Amino acid sequence: MRTNLDELTVRLGRWSSGRGPLYLLLAMRIRALIDDGELSPGSPLPPERVLARRLAVGRGTVVAAYDQLQQEGKVVRRQGSGTRVAAAALPATRTPTGTVANPLLLHLLDLPDDVVLLSCVAPDEPPPALAEAYTEAVADLAKIRHDIGYHPAGHPVLREALAAYYRARGVPTSPGEILVTNGAQQALTLLASVFLSPGDTVLTEVPTYPGALEPFREAAARFRTASDAAEFGAALAERPALGYLIPTGHNPTGSIMPTLVRRHLAGLAAEHDVPVIDDEVPAELCFSGEPPAPLCAFHPGEQLITVGSLSKIVWGGLRVGWIRAAPPVISRLARLRAIHDLGGDVLSQLAATRLLARIGELRRERTAVLRRRHDHLLAELARALPAWRVEPALGGQTVWVRLPHGDADAFAQVALRHRVAIPPGRSFDPSGGHGGFLRLPFLFPEPELTAAVELLAAAWHEYDGSGRSRALQPLVL
């Protein structure tokens, strides 16, 4: 399970990427966590040597930071009992809510300055097709009559277009089996709300997409992890409340699950009556062409639930996602959705309808670019960091890197001081494993990928050169 040290490391985020002495930057970030209620009164802070090792700084940096916080009355330090948040640091009635442990989401909430952001995986500019789709959607909007614009399950035109999209992939689907959402993240949040109660078990593969873990954590679920499809299938017999998979263009590994394995897992989900989410957000990014069939193609029951969006193949700013599920599930989700926001933006849904009509064209253009950049990134890593082990991706937008030694959390801290943000492996494992791995995207143009690899190589030299990292002052760019 994730330890207090793991949690604190994640919440510290990009603490060292500012300007000034490291101990002051660390003290400032811990002070903010205390003031925001993310570190509660009386909670212990890690021992100096332990935190220094995890953050890849000298012990003196942590000692000085703790001393600074003690002078401010934020922490209490006692011989033999360590360092704790001061009891008076927050009003007794204040409790932290809505906290985010995912470093990827933290970067969205607190965008780094002058940092190469390798932690978020999404296109960094809208394609021309999106502007064209909105132009066409405006004309469609002008034709609407007798419609108040509230559609909790989604606009009927888009629901039919999505149903047709699945029918074209060999999955019989009606509009009543589609719920439109404000992106896939809202889809996962709605599903967690419907299927999970506090203490329920969610079965996930590891590594897995960290953004999916947050709604499950928010629902106070427990995690059961599986290292491969065989273990996942066996764990379905334990009857978890919910399962979560990314079979196509897996995030972070870029793998694609074979058809026979999909069929087997779909059968097991039906046999054990376990709802399983098939996250197809990266599915259209298969290097080999059209995406394989979703899990729901192999069993018609209520257990197989598919989540998708246009955020990866088009742009993250187009907040249109969806859920494909059996009508009773869609009905429950639509009632819950109505409580929150009565439905999504109609113009965006009309634009999404236009984009779905061009999905084959968009797929070919996007995957051609991604495959070229994928090959370039792997070549650059082989040149500059030959000791790193990288398995080529079959789709998606990322590769999964195994470090030859050391701890990815500590290395990520060094990388930040070289102005590059990377997500360490523990972010992708709710059990706290995969500490020797990290994820790298291949989204950027080739020159930018080369520059990012050079920064990583410089950071790795600092981390690896003497057998341990030494404290670095922030670079002035």
Q: At 149, list the tokens.
A: 């614009």
List the alpha helices (DSSP H) in 87-127.
103-109
Asked whether the predicted pLDDT for residue 228 surpasses 60, the reply is yes
Q: At 14, which amino acid appears?
A: R
Nearest to 351 by CA among 186, 179, 28, 134: 134
Q: At 130, list the tokens.
A: 């999106």
Cross-strand bridge partners of residue 239: none
Cross-strand bridge partners of residue 420: 116
pLDDT of residue 72: 81
Q: pLDDT class for 3, splitting at 50, 70, 90?
A: low
The CA distance from 22 to 16, in Å, is: 6
pLDDT of residue 102: 59
Q: Does the N-terminal peptide bond of residue 91 adopt cis geometry, omega within 30 degrees of 0?
A: no
**Secondary-structure breakdown of the chain: helix, strand, coil percentages, each rounded to the nearest 5:** 45, 15, 40
Max Cα distance, the chain (Å): 74
Contact yes or no for 210/428 (Cβ under 8 A): yes
- Per-residue b/e over 196-218, b at no fewer than 16 CB within 10 Å? beeebbbbbbbbbbbbbbbbbbb
Write the pLDDT tens digit of every residue in 254-309.
999 999 999 999 999 999 999 999 999 999 999 999 999 999 999 988 999 999 99
Write the pLDDT tens digit of every residue in 380-392.
999 999 999 999 9
Alpha-carbon distance values, 165 to 30, 72, 199, 348, 402 (Å): 48, 59, 36, 18, 37
**Phi/psi at 67 (nearest 5 deg)?**
-60, -40
The CA distance from 286 to 374, in Å, is: 12
Q: How many CB atoms lie within 10 A of CB 90?
A: 19
The one-character DSSP state at 477 is -
Query: Exposed, middle or buried by CB within 10 Å (0-12, 13-18, 19+), for 183?
Result: buried
Max mean pLDDT among 62-71, 211-220, 465-474 falls in 211-220
The one-character DSSP state at 201 is E
Q: pLDDT class for 113, splitting at 50, 70, 90?
A: low
The mean of the pLDDT values for the chain is 90
Write the pLDDT tens digit of every residue in 149-174.
999 999 999 999 999 999 999 999 99
pLDDT of residue 111: 55
List CB contacts of 266: < 8 A, sequence separation 6 or more. 276, 295, 296, 297, 298, 299, 304
Q: At 420, list the tokens.
A: 């590059």
pLDDT of residue 443: 94
- The pTM (predicted TM-score) of the whole model is 0.81
What is the secondary structure of 54-85 as a DSSP string? HHTS-HHHHHHHHHHHHHTTSEEEETTTEEEE
Q: At 199, list the tokens.
A: 């203490």
Asked whether the predicted pLDDT for residue 98 surpasses 70, the reply is no
